[in-house]
Structure 1
Amino acid sequence: MSPTAAVTSSRQGSVVPYAPICGPDVWYGQQQCQQQEQWVHTLTAAQVQELEAAVVAVQQRLQLRTHGNYITGLMRLRDPAQFPLPLLSPVLAAMKQELTAGRGFYLIKGLPVEHWSVEQVMVAYWGIGVHLGVAIPQNQKGHLIGHVKGVGVDPLCQNPATRIYMTRAAQPWHVDSCDIVGLLCLQPAKSGGQSSWASSSAIYNELLTASPEAVAALAGSWYLDRKGELPPGKLPYFVMPVLHFHQGFLTVSFHDSYYQAAAARFPAQVPPLTPTQQAALALFNEAANKDDVRLDYWLEPGDMQFVNNHNVVHMRSQFEDWEEPSKKRHLLRLQLVVPGLRPLPAAAFEALWGPLAADDRCVQQLAALADAGDPEQQQPAAAHEDASRRHAEQAAAAAGDVAVPSAGGGAVSAALAARFGGSGMGCIPLDAELGNKLRD
């Protein structure tokens, strides 16, 4: 069907290609500013106390340990029943519904990051994530919680191979490579660093009206740069559409700057963007940047934002950071998959997601790989000396010093191990590291 053939609007689950979309995922920022009570929840004192008690229980029951820059054992917390929150669970259930079948974004405020230890904060954040989905490794070291923090390398992102999240440069509109991404603010910037969200479905509707040709171009083939994170046997770039019409869903996978980087870094293999593609990118950004379309928000310490990457794009403005290391802008990132959330066109998403593009998101194989990276998962309680030695080996593996064999689950697990490097599965760093490349 051509981009101009259909005019009747349809909802997610029954989307007609190139027809307008209606439903709760079509929202406008100007309107949402007046409805914050529907997508913002501030933790009550009782809910904070409940979280703190759940954190202490996990620390004791799982005997969490810190080795250098890593927490070990936390990945064994996988089931919401292991992190009971009677007061907060109804809020988290409503949030998950809003994320998966509503607007696609939600904000929780009031986690006491200024008063808790880093380990306490991470356990609470991880536990909340368990109520929403399954955490996936964010890089080839297997980091399950990522640190979004300027580390002083290429601060204005002048090198196309630099990961923007490690700089203070503006991060353009994009999505992350997961179903739901969470960002927890530990410390804001000295100035700048504003977060913005926009409905991908609203942007799509805007483009249908403004330029059906741009919609057709966005549904075509686009080359993306892997930014140096190269699975075995893969090229340093790949091809993936921006718009995906699949089994009644419109999924938007927008990675601005990755298209330009692929053409700039590999001119012999990757064709330059065509004038039609350049115009389509400009129109997408123009629509997302409209005052009535985008929703701007200043994250404060203790804020946790969660976004559905399939129907919400997000960005961050350039910022000025503090000189003192303890005051530098610092966010924690969770990347979650939700089994059965929506079917993804595996032929396209496999290039970026690997086997996780399957409907079940391969959560059993992910658990097997995490177990293989957990020194205590299959250790008797009395074998503390051997467990300690294995913890040290695991921490060294996470730092890239030694290789730990991957394990578990046949061809799919082998593919996951290859996608994520096969070592350091289940590592949770306490702070950012140079060379810690996270997928956007």
Structure 2
Amino acid sequence: MPGEVAAELNAAARDALAAGGRPHLASPRPVGLGRTEEFVAELRRRLAGYPGFVVVTDVPVEAEDPQESEMIYWLLGLLLGRPVSQSRKGDLLGRVEDRGADIGSPVQRGYESSAALPFHVDRTDVIGLLCVRPAASGGLSRIVSAKTVHDLLLAESEDLLAELYQPYPNDRRGEEQPGEAPWSGIPVFSRTGDSFAARYLRRFIEGSQRHDTAPRLTERQIAAMDALDAILERPGVSLDMELRRGDLQLINNFHLLHARSAFEDGGGRGRLLLRLWLAFDASPELPDHFASLYGAVAAGSYRGGVWPAGSLPETLGRPVGELG
């Protein structure tokens, strides 16, 4: 992060905290941050097009008051998009750290464990991960182009690729709203007009089978996932990186899948990443299959997130550019 941008955000964060500001859905988009606006415009360009991700180094995380670092990140996020809730708790700035969660449980979240997480996507347009403290060992971040994996599968197993364009049942893991089905049918790969999107969480697909109402996975569907997983783990397909203190990784969630290796914490405070889920005004149009899970499918609309029961925001479906 350029020094002048860091300085501008530092000053704005202190002013916001002094005025009693805290991360909130109604937080206004910051104004008067010219240097940061120019910087964010370049981030948006890279996220919307090629390569679909960016790593920003030297984000200020050294403040004595951790709220200052959190506010810097929050203000940057507000300039990039609009935050959505990440869990039933309504957290807008998530803490990715080991809290002993069991990823084998259908009702516990992987970001609260130290286990390896296979390639997957999150329920949002853009994911931000800011490293506050790296692990003592492990915790390698891995990303892969969904289009690259798609095209390799097209060249090698076109018949199995066709299966991945059909809806797969996805377990909603108890995060559905009252009255909604406990699973959603969504393809792994989708095309709507000129828009391409990928959504793949094998654990959630297999977890759907605990619901009697979910369709049973066929042998062909399982074979297609096996072929996809084999390509995802093929040497040289993914880009693996270590996120160091002050590194911010931003990912276009529909163009890239991400994973994480297992990690171990040493003495003292353990690994901590701060996570933002952002609705993005340059996001693609999605097929109607996504509506039950994302709340809206129009390009550039406010959508996605995991919300507290009975409290979906009224802004779902509105253009992101009109909010804040």
Q: Is the pair's TM-score, using the shorter chain for normalization, greater than 0.5?
A: yes
Matched with 2:322 is none
Letter aligned with residue 78 of structure 1: P
Q: Distance in 2 between matches of 1:133 and 1:194?
A: 26
On the 8 A contact 2:24/2:92 being kept in 1, the answer is no
Q: Distance in 2 between matches of 1:158 and 1:179?
A: 26
Alpha-carbon distance, 1:408 to partner: 8.0
Within the candidate set 8, 15, 25, 1:50 is matched to 8
Render the CA deviation track for 1:254-289: whole Å, top value 9, x for unaligned: 1121111112x23x3334432222221122122222
Matched with 2:251 is 307
Matched with 1:359 is 299
Which secondary structure state, in structure 1, belongs to the residue aligned with residue 285 of structure 2?
coil
Letter aligned with residue 172 of structure 2: R
Matched with 1:298 is 242
Is 1:172 matched up with 2:129?
A: no
On the 8 A contact 2:168/2:205 being kept in 1, the answer is yes
Letter aligned with residue 249 of structure 1: S
Which secondary structure state, in structure 1, belongs to the residue aligned with residue 15 of structure 2?
helix
After superposition, the Cα gap between the structure-2 partners of 1:102 and 1:212, relative to the gap in structure 1 and judged at 3 Å, is same
Which secondary structure state, in structure 2, belongs to the residue aligned with residue 257 of structure 1?
helix
After superposition, the Cα gap between the structure-2 partners of 1:408 and 1:323, relative to the gap in structure 1 and judged at 3 Å, is closer
Q: Distance in 1 between matches of 2:59 and 2:312?
A: 36
Matched with 2:35 is 87
On the 8 A contact 2:23/2:71 being kept in 1, the answer is no
Give the 5 Å matches for 1:352-431: 352-354=293-295, 356-362=296-302
After superposition, the Cα gap between the structure-2 partners of 1:408 and 1:146, relative to the gap in structure 1 and judged at 3 Å, is closer
Within the candidate set 97, 100, 121, 2:48 is matched to 100
Alpha-carbon distance, 1:139 to partner: 2.1
RMSD of the TM alignment (CA)? 2.6
Which secondary structure state, in structure 2, belongs to the residue aligned with residue 357 of structure 1?
coil
On the 8 A contact 1:222/1:242 being kept in 2, the answer is yes
Q: Distance in 2 between matches of 1:148 and 1:408?
A: 24
Q: Distance in 2 between matches of 1:102 and 1:53?
A: 32
Give the 5 Å matches for 1:268-279: 268-279=212-223
Q: Distance in 1 between matches of 2:223 and 2:149?
A: 15
Render the CA deviation track for 1:222-247: whole Å, top value 9, x for unaligned: 01111121211112212111111111
Is 1:258 matched up with 2:216?
A: no
Q: Distance in 2 between matches of 1:159 and 1:203?
A: 28
Render the CA deviation track for 1:375-394: whole Å, top value 9, x for unaligned: xxxxxxxxxxxxxxxxxxxx
On the 8 A contact 1:193/1:316 being kept in 2, the answer is yes
After superposition, the Cα gap between the structure-2 partners of 1:408 and 1:255, relative to the gap in structure 1 and judged at 3 Å, is closer
Alignment: residue pair count: 316
Which secondary structure state, in structure 1, belongs to the residue aligned with residue 48 of structure 2?
helix
Q: Distance in 1 between matches of 2:92 and 2:176?
A: 19
Q: Distance in 2 between matches of 1:407 and 1:258?
A: 22
Matched with 1:319 is 263
Q: With structure 1 as the length reference, what TM-score do the two structures score?
A: 0.66
Q: Distance in 1 between matches of 2:256 and 2:144?
A: 6
Render the CA deviation track for 1:298-336: whole Å, top value 9, x for unaligned: 011111100001111100011112353xx2111111111
Q: Distance in 2 between matches of 1:106 and 1:360?
A: 20
After superposition, the Cα gap between the structure-2 partners of 1:212 and 1:294, relative to the gap in structure 1 and judged at 3 Å, is same
Q: Distance in 1 between matches of 2:166 and 2:66?
A: 44
Within the candidate set 96, 104, 107, 1:158 is matched to 104
On the 8 A contact 2:97/2:113 being kept in 1, the answer is yes
After superposition, the Cα gap between the structure-2 partners of 1:286 and 1:149, relative to the gap in structure 1 and judged at 3 Å, is same
Q: Distance in 2 between matches of 1:183 and 1:250?
A: 23
Matched with 2:28 is 78
Q: Distance in 2 between matches of 1:227 and 1:318?
A: 22
Matched with 2:161 is 215
Q: Distance in 1 between matches of 2:44 and 2:223?
A: 36
After superposition, the Cα gap between the structure-2 partners of 1:172 and 1:221, relative to the gap in structure 1 and judged at 3 Å, is same
User: Could you tell which deviates more after superposition, 102-111 or 49-58?
Assistant: 49-58
Matched with 2:133 is 187
Alpha-carbon distance, 1:209 to partner: 0.4
Q: Distance in 2 between matches of 1:200 and 1:406?
A: 32
Q: Greater Rg, structure 1 or structure 2?
A: 1
Q: Distance in 2 between matches of 1:116 and 1:334?
A: 22
Render the CA deviation track for 1:353-398: whole Å, top value 9, x for unaligned: 12x33335248xx9xxxxxxxxxxxxxxxxxxxxxxxxxxxxxxx9
Alpha-carbon distance, 1:75 to partner: 4.3
Q: Distance in 1 between matches of 2:262 and 2:13?
A: 34
Give the 5 Å matches for 1:51-66: 51-60=9-18, 62-64=19-21
Render the CA deviation track for 1:53-89: whole Å, top value 9, x for unaligned: 12112223x423xxxxxxx4654433242xx433343
Q: Distance in 2 between matches of 1:322 and 1:344?
A: 42
Which secondary structure state, in structure 2, belongs to the residue aligned with residue 231 of structure 1?
coil
Alpha-carbon distance, 1:91 to partner: 2.4
Alpha-carbon distance, 1:90 to partner: 2.3
Q: Distance in 2 between matches of 1:272 and 1:248?
A: 31
After superposition, the Cα gap between the structure-2 partners of 1:56 and 1:74, relative to the gap in structure 1 and judged at 3 Å, is farther
Q: Distance in 1 between matches of 2:312 and 2:46?
A: 36
After superposition, the Cα gap between the structure-2 partners of 1:149 and 1:249, relative to the gap in structure 1 and judged at 3 Å, is same
On the 8 A contact 1:185/1:330 being kept in 2, the answer is yes
Q: Distance in 2 between matches of 1:254 and 1:199?
A: 12
Matched with 1:349 is 290
Matched with 2:321 is none
Q: With structure 2 as the length reference, what TM-score do the two structures score?
A: 0.89
For structure 1, the 5+ residue unaligned runs are: 1-42, 65-71, 367-397, 417-440
For structure 2, the 5+ residue unaligned runs are: 319-324
